[in-house]
């Protein structure tokens, strides 16, 4: 038998960077098939990384009917690709269409658990997963309630984003010290998520308004998820929109992250960057863990006051030192998954 063919299916921006990290650790151990859905700048990110990929399907939007139809259509399209490519293993964050297709062809599927709120998605994914990588801050009852078979679990310490600590932490520190103005990254909420069932709260818009009014010597970088979010923030003078086709990991080149993007807040923490949460909906278990270490407020004035603290370089360095003590104990998920792939096919 030659090198195994590993199929990576990408459904979120975070998964782009995780797959990239896994591939770096695998080297020339395996052949690679990458599929992705057209959602939240995934295609732009993969193109920026110069990765070969096949775009298949898209996000179904906010409605349950739309999600279901997009799932079914994507299974149909993936089936043709998988039948032709015959991969030996699927690795995906937790895409139901990919896992169902792999199951239909008898291809083992490895997935990542980190959000107990995605109940319906979890029950479509984890009962069909052969191996599930799970952060150690979850307990067994929480996993069982979400369709996880416990003897298929591989535990890891820390956040799913902790692979960044080895790959990019030094580059991140270099980038942050190379510019004059303080760079603040603002990432809006995920309006299409199934668990986002609350009324939208314009916290971040008010934060941007206050930061501009206070006339700080800072660059406000907006990373919108949708065109409607881009239009919403475009009314504020001086904001800069991140160009999707030039980015790798947006957190790398900033000094402070403010937002309603859970994964990006975790990325910031792992990269030892100060982060401020403005999450106003039900918090996931990883977010509850994260909020032990970063600032959090749903009051725009308070968020701005917290941000102003980090205009002081000494405060940013103090945060980094404390964060490093925690992050150093976390596992590199990209390295762990690559090592497990090598063991599996040895």
In this structure, are 175 and 323 located in the same domain? yes
pLDDT band at 246 (very low <50, low <70, confident <90, very high): very low
In this structure, are 308 and 336 located in the same domain? no
pLDDT confidence of residue 189: 86
User: Which of 11-20, 29-38, 52-61, 85-94 bottoms out in mean pLDDT, i.e. has the lowest?
Assistant: 52-61
In this structure, are 140 and 211 located in the same domain? no
pLDDT band at 199 (very low <50, low <70, confident <90, very high): confident
In this structure, are 290 and 216 located in the same domain? yes
**Interior angle at CA 135, CA 97 and CA 5, nearest 5:** 45
In this structure, are 308 and 337 located in the same domain? no
* pLDDT of residue 89 exceeding 60: yes
In this structure, are 45 and 148 located in the same domain? yes
- Which pair of structure tokens corresponds to residue 149? 């078979």
**Residue span of the structural domain in which 48 resides:** 5-157+331-344
Range with the largest mean pLDDT of 49-53, 146-150, 177-181: 146-150
pLDDT confidence of residue 122: 96
User: Which of 145-149, 221-225, 240-244 bottoms out in mean pLDDT, i.e. has the lowest?
Assistant: 240-244
Cα torsion 155, 158, 161, 165 to 10°: value is -120
Q: What distance in Å separates the CA atoms of residue 50 and residue 255, rounded to the nearest whole number? A: 26
* pLDDT of residue 293 exceeding 70: yes
In this structure, are 129 and 259 located in the same domain? no
pTM of the model: 0.90
Name the percent of the chain lying above pLDDT 90: 69
Q: What distance in Å separates the CA atoms of residue 173 and residue 155, rounded to the nearest whole number? A: 29
In this structure, are 115 and 219 located in the same domain? no
- Which pair of structure tokens corresponds to residue 104? 């239909």
pLDDT confidence of residue 76: 95
In this structure, are 83 and 193 located in the same domain? no
Torsion over CA: 141, 291, 123, 331 (sign): negative
pLDDT confidence of residue 315: 97
Overall number of domains in the chain: 2
Work out the number of other CB atoms within 10 angstroms of the CB of residue 312. 11
Work out the number of other CB atoms within 10 angstroms of the CB of residue 291. 14
CATH code, domain with 116? 3.40.50.2000
Q: CA separation (Å) from 335 to 21, 119, 162, 168?
A: 7, 28, 10, 13
Closest CA to 96 of 63, 128, 64: 128
Cα torsion 223, 227, 231, 232 to 10°: value is -70
In this structure, are 169 and 129 located in the same domain? no
* pLDDT of residue 332 exceeding 60: yes
pLDDT band at 197 (very low <50, low <70, confident <90, very high): low
Q: What distance in Å separates the CA atoms of residue 281 and residue 196, rounded to the nearest whole number? A: 7
Q: What distance in Å separates the CA atoms of residue 329 and residue 99, rounded to the nearest whole number? A: 31
pLDDT band at 231 (very low <50, low <70, confident <90, very high): very high
In this structure, are 146 and 197 located in the same domain? no
pLDDT band at 247 (very low <50, low <70, confident <90, very high): low
* pLDDT of residue 64 exceeding 80: no
pLDDT confidence of residue 60: 61
pLDDT confidence of residue 304: 96
* pLDDT of residue 297 exceeding 90: yes
In this structure, are 243 and 319 located in the same domain? yes
For the residues 21-40, what does the mean pLDDT come to? 92
pLDDT confidence of residue 193: 60
């Amino acid at each position: 038998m030659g090198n195994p063919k590993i199929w990576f299916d990408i459904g979120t921006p975070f998964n782009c960077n995780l797959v990239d990290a896994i591939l770096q650790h695998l080297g020339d151990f395996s052949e690679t098939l990458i599929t992705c859905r057209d959602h939240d700048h995934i295609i732009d990110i993969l193109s920026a990384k110069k990765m070969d990929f096949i775009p298949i399907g898209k996000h179904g939007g906010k409605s349950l009917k739309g999600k279901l139809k997009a799932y079914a259509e994507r299974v149909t399209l993936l089936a043709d690709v998988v039948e032709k490519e015959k991969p030996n293993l699927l690795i995906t964050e937790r895409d139901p269409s990919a896992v169902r297709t792999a199951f239909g062809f008898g291809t083992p599927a490895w997935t990542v658990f980190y959000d107990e709120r995605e109940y319906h998605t979890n029950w479509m994914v984890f009962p069909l997963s052969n191996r599930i990588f799970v952060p150690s801050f979850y307990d067994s009852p929480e996993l069982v309630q979400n369709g996880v078979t416990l003897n298929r679990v591989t535990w890891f310490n820390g956040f799913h984003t902790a692979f960044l600590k080895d790959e990019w932490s030094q580059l991140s520190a270099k980038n942050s010290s190379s510019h004059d103005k303080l760079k603040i990254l603002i990432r809006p909420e995920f309006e299409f998520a199934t668990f986002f069932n609350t009324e939208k709260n314009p916290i971040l818009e008010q934060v941007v308004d206050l930061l501009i009014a206070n006339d700080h010597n800072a660059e406000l970088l907006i990373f919108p998820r949708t065109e409607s979010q881009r239009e919403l923030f475009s009314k504020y003078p001086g904001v800069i929109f991140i160009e999707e086709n030039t980015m790798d990991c947006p957190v790398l080149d900033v000094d402070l992250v403010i937002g309603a993007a859970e994964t990006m807040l975790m990325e910031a923490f792992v990269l030892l960057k100060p982060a401020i949460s403005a999450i106003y909906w039900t918090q996931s278990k990883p977010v509850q863990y994260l909020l032990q270490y970063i600032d959090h407020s749903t009051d725009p004035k308070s968020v701005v006051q917290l941000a102003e603290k980090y205009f002081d370089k000494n405060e940013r360095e103090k945060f980094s030192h404390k964060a490093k003590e925690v992050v150093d104990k976390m596992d590199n998920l990209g390295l762990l998954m690559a090592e497990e792939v090598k063991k599996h096919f040895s």
